[in-house]
Amino acid sequence: MAEVSETTLPAAPPMRFALLRLLRPRQWVKNGFVFAPLVFTGLFSEPHALGLACAMAVLFAAASAVTYVFNDLYDLESDRRHPKKRLRRPLAAGAVTPGAAWAVLGILEAAVAAGAAGLAFHLGDAHAVAVLAVYQILNVLYTLKLKDVPIVDIFCVAAGFVLRVYAGAVVLSVPLSPWMLNTTLCLALFLVATKRLQEKKAHEDEARAVLREYPLSLLEYFTLLSAVGALIFYGIFVLTVRKELALSIPLVLFGFFRYRYIVECLDMGESPTDALWKDLPLALTVLAWAALCAGSMLSLHPAGS
């Protein structure tokens, strides 16, 4: 029997790709929430404002990557027992060593601290830095304990989205409508509750311990309640603050309907970001909504005005 040459064996993926997957770049799309105040104030036509929003989005991307690495380190043993995470997550799959992950975490945290300090110096205000700090502290507490506390776990994840929108307003020094904050909160609650619902259906209680505390009927109620709340608050925001965005409401309705469809019929609700990346109609709806909002606001605040 002929010996198998080492050159015929499949090569292991380069370490740099495994490290990149450790940072979950597909999840960085969530940081688009930072740009909401930029769009709804029409300031995206001003280079300085756009630069500030981009800087804050990059800082949130780095800060969220820190939380992902920390979470994977803390949950390493449970992830190795998970039917999907043991294959998808580099640490659980053995593609990245814990030592390398700790090194990456330290480098990222230093970068976040340096970037936040530079932004605070530029703005002459540490408010934006405080928002980032709250975000990171909340995520550490979530990983250590709060993810196992019913209801609190859902609100903790949703709070991350709200903090992104708030940070986007802070860095631009613009007021933020309470209706927009409530819309963001309800939208985030809808996405998180839907994720929990799909995890419960697919894995029963194996995906995460807190699922034992959630009956399916309760999670279905949460998704319905939060979806209705998001639509109502967005409608109030448009009618009272941004009437020129009235045509965006049908797109928002379609987006909710489409997302619910792909959750129920295409089984894609466990990862909202994957749903956005993989479902073309949903992605086009989000892009059309953003373009419509940007165009409407640009007509009110032309570039250079």
Domain ranges for the chain: 15-173, 177-298
Task: State the burial class of residue 243 (Cβ atoms within 10 Å of its Cβ: 0-12, 13-18, 19+).
Answer: exposed
Is residue 142 within 8 Å of 153, Cβ to Cβ? yes
Please tell me the distance from the alpha carbon of residue 249 to that of residue 234, in angstroms, as a whole number: 8
Query: Which ranges of the chain does DSSP label H, i.e. alpha helix?
Result: 15-22, 36-40, 47-74, 76-81, 85-88, 90-93, 98-123, 127-144, 152-172, 178-203, 216-240, 248-265, 272-278, 280-300
Average pLDDT per consecutive 10 residues, the chain (305 residues; last block may be shorter): 40 68 88 90 87 94 94 87 79 88 94 93 88 95 94 96 94 91 95 90 74 92 95 94 90 93 77 78 91 81 46
Q: What is the pLDDT of residues 10-48, one digit of tens each?
A: 444 566 688 888 898 888 888 999 999 988 888 888 899
Task: State the burial class of residue 158 (Cβ atoms within 10 Å of its Cβ: 0-12, 13-18, 19+).
Answer: buried
Q: Give the list of residues 6+ apart from residue 72 with CB closer than 8 angstroms, or none.
A: 22, 79, 89, 90, 91, 92, 101
**What local confidence, expressed as pLDDT, does residue 11 receive?**
45
Please tell me the distance from the alpha carbon of residue 252 to that of residue 240, in angstroms, as a whole number: 17
Output the pTM of the full model: 0.86
**What local confidence, expressed as pLDDT, does residue 7 receive?**
41
CATH level 2 (architecture), domain 15-173 = Orthogonal Bundle (1.10)
**What local confidence, expressed as pLDDT, does residue 270 receive?**
64
Q: Dihedral sign, CA of 220, 225, 229, 232?
A: positive
